[in-house]
Amino acid sequence: MTQTIKKNNISEITNYILSIQVSLNGLSFCVLNQENEVLVLDYDNFGIQLSPQQVLDKIKYTLDHHPKLKYEFSTIEIIYQNDLYTFVPKALFDPQLLNEYLSYNIKILDSDFIAYDELEQHDIVTVYIPYTNINNFFFETFGSFTFKHSSTILVDNILTKEKNNESILVYSHMNFKYFDLVVVNKGKLILSNSYIYENKDDFLYYLMFTAEQLRLNPEEFQLIFLGNISKNSDYYTIADKYIRNINFGHRNHTYKLPETMHTIEPHQHFVLLSHF
């Protein structure tokens, strides 16, 4: 279930969709038109981790100064990318227990707003904390908008793609300063978690530790990279020393890209370009 917030006085309809992927380390912006053509695809890497208020200031500045973000948008979608989430089997889910689901792994403040997304085809619910100040800004500025967690999009697309695959697959979705691991066995979700890293050794440690805990043989499972990584990356190189089978994944959807964007690989911007 995508979280939707609306104002009753919003009536103007256009054909442009704005998606913003929000993390404390960076922002990604995408504008799509009704012909499934990507008009804007930009990323701002902060270099450091900011506070939610500093991130909001970055969003305001970008919306004010980016010449191609001046459309009247029919839809605005916010994707929250953080480690403030957990997955709950739908059969065990109770919307009255959101606080309890997160309290096992996350320190929850009294002021925190807890939301959830339903992965309806997979009987899974993502419980997470969005950034309330950013939600408030979009409500006050634009009125109607939707929001969901990045892990919802990531896991939903992976499970849909691999529903008939009998293999053990480990997806590593690389972001600046942290990465997501999603493990699928015979089309079923085994694990989804996020890890903070500073260097390639941190990355390798979490990858191999997860494999060990799940009793996965590095000679047998397939490691699939998504996100911000290339074949000449140190992270690919070190993984290749210990994992026999490594590949790059690709988005399930195809969009028209301007000539200036043809260098974007199918595994890059996976979440931002996989939720439409």
CATH value at residue 169? 3.30.420.260
User: Is the same domain home to 74 and 178?
Assistant: no
Number of CB atoms found within 10 A of residue 178's CB: 21
**Number of domains the chain is built from:** 2
User: Is the same domain home to 143 and 58?
Assistant: yes
Q: What is the pLDDT of residues 80-99, one digit of tens each?
A: 999 999 999 999 999 999 99
Please indicate, yes or no, if residue 274 is contained in any of the structural domains.
no
Residue that wins the pLDDT comparison between 261 and 149 = 149
Please give the average per-residue pLDDT across 187-203, as a whole number: 95
pLDDT of res. 4: 56
**Which H helix or E strand runs over 61?**
helix 52-65
Q: CA dist 173 to 80, 120, 133, 178, 249, Å?
A: 15, 22, 27, 9, 10
Please indicate, yes or no, if residue 157 is contained in any of the structural domains.
no
CA 253 to chain centre: 15
- How is 170-236 classified by DSSP, letter by letter? EEEEEETTEEEEEEEETTEEEEEEEEE-SSHHHHHHHHHHHHHHTT--TTTSEEEEEES--TTSHHH
Please indicate, yes or no, if residue 271 is contained in any of the structural domains.
no
pLDDT of res. 257: 79
Please indicate, yes or no, if residue 13 is contained in any of the structural domains.
yes
Please indicate, yes or no, if residue 137 is contained in any of the structural domains.
yes
Q: What six digits make up the tokens of 223?
A: 């490691």
User: Is the same domain home to 188 and 236?
Assistant: yes
pLDDT of res. 12: 45
User: Is the same domain home to 178 and 76?
Assistant: no
pLDDT of res. 255: 80
Please indicate, yes or no, if residue 209 is contained in any of the structural domains.
yes
Please indicate, yes or no, if residue 96 is contained in any of the structural domains.
no
User: Is the same domain home to 66 and 137?
Assistant: yes
User: Is the same domain home to 37 and 77?
Assistant: yes
User: Is the same domain home to 136 and 232?
Assistant: no
Is pLDDT at 216 greater than 90 in this prediction?
yes
Q: What is the pLDDT of residues 33-49, one digit of tens each?
A: 888 889 989 999 999 99
Ranking 43-47, 124-128, 236-240 by mean pLDDT, the lowest is 43-47
At residue 9 the predicted structure's pLDDT band, cuts being 50, 70 and 90, is: very low
Please indicate, yes or no, if residue 77 is contained in any of the structural domains.
yes
Q: What six digits make up the tokens of 13?
A: 């309809």
Rounded to whole angstroms, how far apart are CA atoms 197 and 215? 22
CATH number at residue 16: 3.30.420.40
User: Is the same domain home to 137 and 180?
Assistant: no
User: Is the same domain home to 223 and 146?
Assistant: no
User: Is the same domain home to 50 and 176?
Assistant: no
What pTM did the predictor assign?
0.92
Angle between helices 200-213 and 234-242 (to 10 degrees): 40
Residue (of 167, 159, 203, 161) closest to 186 by Cα position: 167
Residues spanned by the domain of 235: 162-248
User: Is the same domain home to 42 and 136?
Assistant: yes
Is pLDDT at 260 greater than 80 in this prediction?
no
